[in-house]
Amino acid sequence: MKQIDLTGVVLNPAARTLDFSALAIDPRSVLAVLHEPTNRFIFAAGRSGLGYASIAGAVMTLAADTSGLAPGPLTGFRDDGADVATDVRLEACRALLATGNATLSNLSTAIGTPSDAATGSDAAAGSLIAKVTRLLGTQTGIATVLAAVRDRLPAALVGGRLAVDGSAVTQPISAAALPLPTGAATSAAQVTSNTALGAPGDAAYAGAGSPSIIGALKGLYVAMVAATPAGANVIGRVGIDQTTPGTTNAVAVTAAVLPAGAAQDGADPASPAVANAGTGIRGWLATIAGLLKLGPAAKAASASMTIATDLNNLEPAGAAITGAAMPTGGAGLTGWLSAIWSVLSNAQTRVVMFADQSGQAYAVSAAVTGATRDASAYPGMTKYNISVAADQSGTLFFQGSNDGFVTSVSTSIQPVTANIPVTYSVPLTYRYNRFVYGNGSNAAATVSIASSLSAA
């Protein structure tokens, strides 16, 4: 049977899709979909250009272009598959006709003839025509009653209103005896309010008695627009001339008494080089302004400054620590700094420590090469120190090079005994130096190596 769906169909104009998920139906059962705002079909089964391009689940992709349409509303038409003349139903009808229960004679009797009288009641047996005749008669009776009401209604109205009693006269409803809530606007309350409000003719309030609201407002208006009185009646201490109203007089403060220590006028100084060469506040301000000039200026225009005698070498007064004295030829801060530089730049005083290996494990006959150490341009003044501790025996090789170990020479070979820490020191003859440690015939669990460069 054909069905109409007013809701549940969702249109995506940009994607050209119709989603029937809310209806839980197969899109193939849909016959047509009407786009109500444009009054046009966007899908019609069997119509060229209005079919579908594909169906995926409950979503149908349309063949028509819907990119310019609003999302809805939509009206769908579909066939739900019920009461369709299928082969099964046609076979059932054929079998029923074969039994003789459904014949043309039976159908004619059931329908009846035009002369069949109406049945006596709704439940009484009768032909279809008899039933319809009773229905029409009942409708006629109802129509008669409605017509009688219609005819009598104008006479029952009084001035267009329906009377509320049998006297045919509209009765007023009085609320005089009805109870009122607390604070309701009664007639007595209105009289009191009117009295407090006053009358338009009430005189303006002049400051005596109890005026009405209108009288008080009039008095306030008169006071606001009136001129400020002169004489002894000075309002808010704003009057500066009580004898000539309307004339603005200058106020002089030259003779005003200033508090003790207040900044007072004075004289400009002849030169900012001398502090407060003038007098008073002007003397000090002029001196400060002269000393605070920004930017370069000639010597004559600048304030002079004499450096303190104990700051000639930027060294504040003080004393050297015990056991330390200024080297010969030095003086002040510069002397101390040059002495420190001389000591730090002497290769003989340098000691550099390296942590090369710490607790490493080595397999049988494994070897490790240490990092390259630079002894600078004076290797003869430096020693290469290596400390080794291992839980298995091995061999320590010292190697030297002057070309960054493009080529190298073994300078010393030292044995290492298991579990006996040992330290070797080798005087250097090459600028670049390193060590190579070779593990023995047993795997070592822990090998620690530390090296340093020190003065020879």
Assign 367 a pLDDT band (cuts: 50, 70, 90).
Answer: very high
Lowest model confidence (mean pLDDT) among 274-278, 319-323, 420-424: 274-278
pLDDT at residue number 46: 84
Q: What is the pLDDT of residues 42-92, one digit of tens each?
A: 999 888 889 999 999 999 999 999 998 998 888 888 877 666 566 776 777
Taking alpha carbons only, the member of 366, 421, 359 closest to residue 388 is 421
Assign 253 a pLDDT band (cuts: 50, 70, 90).
Answer: low
Contact 398, 384 (CB under 8 A): yes
Q: What is the pLDDT of residues 205-225, one digit of tens each?
A: 887 778 889 988 998 888 888
Contact 420, 373 (CB under 8 A): no
Break the chain into its structural domains and give their ranges.
2-79, 348-455
The tokens for 277 are: 């060469």
**CATH numeric code, 348-455:** 2.60.120.1110
DSSP-assigned letter for residue 455: E
Q: What is the pLDDT of residues 373-417, one digit of tens each?
A: 888 877 887 888 999 999 999 999 999 999 999 999 988 889 999
Assign 175 a pLDDT band (cuts: 50, 70, 90).
Answer: low
Lowest model confidence (mean pLDDT) among 33-37, 113-117, 215-219, 311-315: 311-315
User: What is the DSSP track for 67-102?
Assistant: TTS-S--EEEEEE-STT---HHHHHHHHHHHHHTSS
